[in-house]
Structure 1
């Protein structure tokens, strides 16, 4: 299913409720609810390899029972799927320019990175999978080489690409989901750079997450019209899409969003999801600068220059107190996590097992070549071991200068995310605000503390939100330098400490938002729900 914005009148009597726009879902009019379209909804179904759309006749729709089909909800960031699932009021119409082709909103994630995607999957039984590295399939069912083989020489050479990016070829969860009989939903949302003809911004925080919650509510409000089981909604995404997926999973049914949802007329339904997948989530933004310097502070930029001082050192030092404040225990019985032992935790619990699995899978000749090119790895008795400094040398270079997210000139996408209707970008950390202004007593704008909380899944997990997702699939690439690995690993540790079902992994030599085990994720969800493809 794809959610789109469309012109025309509301089609409230259509069996799928899909033509046109009108009053938002869930508004009460004349004493009774009206099932009014909340954007255009097109249904995509799979039947013997055929994708059926909203214009197919009913006799072509040989559906399985609605409750027997999982739902995959996703968010594209470009093209037709990028139309926001919102009533198109005149003051919100986008300007027609190259970013708004044919007057449509571009696909935009919460940090403005135009490659994120959000998925929601539905399953119920706890399951520990073995990690596969099989090839994927394209839209025509042809096999695609797995990401490690995208560059035939990479698995022999190893290492990054000079900017800490690693392998970025990725499998497509949506295609895997369709092939396994899932329903795929891709709602559009407002984004950080949406602006109307009067120059008013209308996609700043927390609009993107509010729109996604409205989309989940829309699905539940129309559960008898839309195929799929709305008790088994699973979110997922990559990069900033992963951040939104994590936030959606952590903040289910939080009353803090109620006034925002009411303002756009969202349906009076639950916005909680069953399970969450996230690939390289760029989240915990108010602490991301500290975490980035803790991990990459000793690495040079791509130019060879060092990160700007004293910012890098000051932020690294500040991370110590933040990590301590989380009171996290590492997974697999590691114990209390701190800035002092986090490197050992990452190496022993995540990195060495990942490198071992990677090297074990290589043919003997390729493994020998890889080890010869990466002498920081000690290979003995089928196990890879190395030091933290050796791993950092493998990454090579950092992507961003300090501060990385709340930049001093407020030029980062994250600064734009926390703008408001009249200001495109604002500082959202006291460190950058006070450093940039030279005012040690400067305070964030009064509306920002709440919006920062509304964009951070760690806040809701810290509150032990009882309606959070209880099943989590978390991934990132070992060579990703878009954000610190601590961000996703802290998320995993927090969820594990809460007793949730967490499967977290770092892909060895993987880059940003890479997905190397879509088949294993599908198996995980199928086992959780008991779903079996037809």
Structure 2
């Protein structure tokens, strides 16, 4: 029987400890985690018809000193055999190789060599999730020099092709999980510590990285993983997540958007305004039920303001404080005179970072991906519907002092106050902040568009290119309108495996696994290292998206949560200072000390 068709059973007791459920260890390190229900596919015997990585098929790039293999299948029953493959890039020092005479090499692991802080046994594995707008990620068909940035640091770089939103959720994350399982199936066959897998991405890629990190070994994915023939008996959890501007927690994204930015809309019809207000109020109900807690253990809540809307309370104050901290971090890190025209931080119109140290990704580039041009903007490839600018201010020229800069921000009205003694700035209200710095750039019902035209409508569709409605809260808000019947019809649909859209939403909601509010609490193995960065002025999602994720992780007991918003930056690989790739690498190294 050919090797690739031979059913492989490997008793876990014969495997080294690295292949055992690494995330079970993660779970035990979470203070408040008492019990974890994990996928039936990640326990018991390893079962697959897939061959392991062929040691005789390595190729070598002498310029970059990297051994690599391209186009390795990670699914035994792929829906697209050319797409559902991965490629592996290994520092040459980790391999002892002999030439085969045909341009390939037979290589064995060299566990004695060091590259940076690591050996072949201890090296972290980094996997880019380059899926803007939940799009597909093309499988590599040739060598990519992007790997060198990571292999020079001693990392293993793995790029996996992933299905996109046109296949319907949860296809993208399912594929990523299958790729991760395949890597673990190859423990000791390839270099890298299987307990040190990090995923990273921007926008929809940041979202799917967050989902992967929160949903490790979730049984909700069992049927989908079986459907494509993923390796069974190994974990799909990861150790760490780097997410820039993650467009995630979609179950309440429409509501959060209107609560945060709905006040910046104009020219809404009476019906549209009613829907916008209804979504904002639905968000307040959700937040009060969610019961997030601050670092002192105080429950974060929304209450009605003097205007009778839910723009007051401890949660509101918490969000406002986050904005002020972002501004004050910018002011503290910026050297004046400050040239706003050449900076990406500091306010609308600029494109570099404070102190003349520009962050990469300043236009939302896809530099963390697998072969896209570094100058390709997210907006040009994600096919997400946007309109207008998120800012009504345009800062250009040079500001000689903090006071001059604040005066420019206050050019239309005074909404920022700066105390030169304490060197602290405060804002008057969130309404003023979003008016000048974070206005809505998506139509009302920002993610579940009323005409089903948004990318997320397709994401929760059924692989036929047609968008569907999926937001049950929005469905409640539109009762009595012409939209009611359409929502009712779409929410009753199921996919080819009989799963409802509600189940699929849960699968794609990180908080589903992190918060006691949801039924998925403690049913997954959550990554123990998180770094989240977001451009504060982006109009793509509400600030509360990333903020809620950060707080929920800390409430869950995750200790290493590095969260920051970046003043003045948009939908990009936002960084307070420095280069996004360099900062990511440094964070991985620090997390593993």
The question of a shared fold, defined as TM-score above 0.5 by the shorter chain, is answered with yes
Equivalence for 1:514? 573
Matches of 1:19 and 1:72, distance apart in 2 = 16
Among 439, 446, 450, the alignment partner of 1:397 is 439
Which region of structure 1 is more displaced relative to structure 2, 308-317 or 283-292?
308-317
CA deviation string 1:121-180 (max 9, x = no partner)? xxxxxxxxxxxxxxxxxx99xxxxxxxxxxxxxxxxxxxxxxxxxxxxxxx9x7754442
Report the count of equivalent residues: 411
Aligned to 2:586: 523
CA RMSD of aligned residues (A): 3.5
| Counterparts of residues 73-472 of structure 1 (less than 5 Å) | 73-77=127-131, 111-112=134-135, 177-193=150-166, 203-268=167-232, 269-300=234-265, 305=267, 308-331=272-295, 335-338=299-302, 340-341=312-313, 342-348=315-321, 350-366=322-338, 368=401, 369-375=404-410, 376-379=415-418, 380=420, 381-388=422-429, 389-395=431-437, 397-422=439-464, 424-430=466-472, 431-432=474-475, 434=479, 435-439=481-485, 442=488, 444-446=491-493, 447-462=500-515, 463-472=521-530
Unmatched 5+ residue regions in structure 1?
1-9, 28-35, 78-108, 116-138, 141-171, 194-202
Q: TM-score, normalised by structure 2?
A: 0.62
Q: Secondary structure at the match of 1:329?
A: coil
Distance 1:22 1:481, change over 3 A: closer
- Does the 8 Å CA contact 2:457/2:467 hold for their aligned counterparts? yes
Following TM superposition, by how much is the alpha carbon of 1:449 offset from its aligned partner in structure 2, in angstroms?
A: 1.6
Q: Report the TM-score when normalising by structure 1.
A: 0.69
Higher relative contact order (CA 8 A, sep 6+): 1
Counterpart of 2:563?
Answer: 504
Q: Deviations over 1:318-373 (max 9, x none)?
A: 1111111111112465542335333321222x222221121122223226242231
In structure 2, distance between residues paired with 1:22 and 1:347: 48
- Per the TM alignment, residue 56 of structure 1 is displaced from its structure 2 partner at its CA by 6.0
The answer as to 2:542 corresponding to 1:478 is no
- State the match for 1:160 in structure 2: none
**1:374-412 deviation digits (Å, cap 9, x = unpaired):** 133322232222222332233153101111111111111
Q: Distance in 2 between matches of 1:283 and 1:55?
A: 44
On the 8 A contact 1:76/1:187 being kept in 2, the answer is no
- Structure 2 CA distance for partners of 1:58 and 1:521, relative to 1, 3 Å: same
- Match of 1:214, SS state, is helix
Contact 1:330/1:337, CA 8 A, preserved across alignment: no
Alpha-carbon deviation of 1:440?
9.8
- Give the structure with higher Rg (CA): 2
Equivalent-residue separation in structure 1 for 2:336 and 2:212 (angstroms) = 44
Gaps of 5+ in 2: 1-49, 58-68, 139-143, 303-309, 339-398, 494-499, 516-520
Cα 1:55–1:207 change in 2 (3 A) is farther
